[in-house]
Copies of this chain bind each other. A is one copy, B any other.
């Protein structure tokens, strides 16, 4: 399952160079992941009820093309790889002309909320990666 979130670049997201700052791309990616978790019916409370939290441990992002105020962007998110407790989501930021502005691999870990140790990812999450 791949999700696609449509956003518009806003004035306060532009830096002194007239384009979206590198840190703001990570906010866009997070918004795109929220969309994925929501459509996967993996809400914060869903994990909470299992005594699990997910924690982002690595983000590896390639910046390909600048984005400017008013740009219509699509933020994609899809499952890439599942380990025992860690999993990778693949994301892209694409503009209206179809140019790839950035792509990223985001690695997260499922953690026991109480002990804060990594635990095996639950089936509810795992099934999206098969």
List chain A positions with a Cβ less than 8 A from chain B: 10-12, 14-16, 18, 21-24, 26-27, 30-31, 34, 55-63, 69
Contacts and interface: CB of A to CB of B under 8 A. Distances in A.
Overall SS of chain A's interface: mixed
Given A15-B16, A30-B22, A58 B58 contact: no
Contacts of A10: 27, 30-31, 34
Given A10-B31, A11-B34, A31-B10, A59 B22 contact: yes
Contacts of A30: 10-12, 21-23
Contacts of A62: 57-58
Contacts of A18: 16
